[in-house]
Amino acid sequence: MHFRTNHWALLVIHIKEKEFHMYDSLRSKHRADIPQYVDELKRYLKGKHIDADKWPLRYLDPCPQ
């Protein structure tokens, strides 16, 4: 995802670890839209017979700038 100016974010689905990993160039953990993206991905995965409802969202640090 690209945001204004030089800000970017990457949301990774870790199937083996059963987690969502978030990399954010500004390290902002209070964005309301990120959990919405995760919810959409959970619905998508459910359609693929993968139950990700309880998978945590982890904000990983350090993150490249």
pLDDT of residue 1: 58
The residue type of 5 is T
Cα 19 from Cα 4, distance rounded (Å): 27
Ranges of each domain in the chain: 1-25
The model's pTM is 0.79
pLDDT of residue 43: 96
Q: What is the mean pLDDT of each run of 10 residues along the chain (65 residues)?
A: 71 95 80 89 96 94 71
pLDDT of residue 29: 72
Cβ contacts of residue 23 below 8 Å, gap of 6+? 9, 10, 11, 12, 60, 63, 64
pLDDT of residue 56: 97
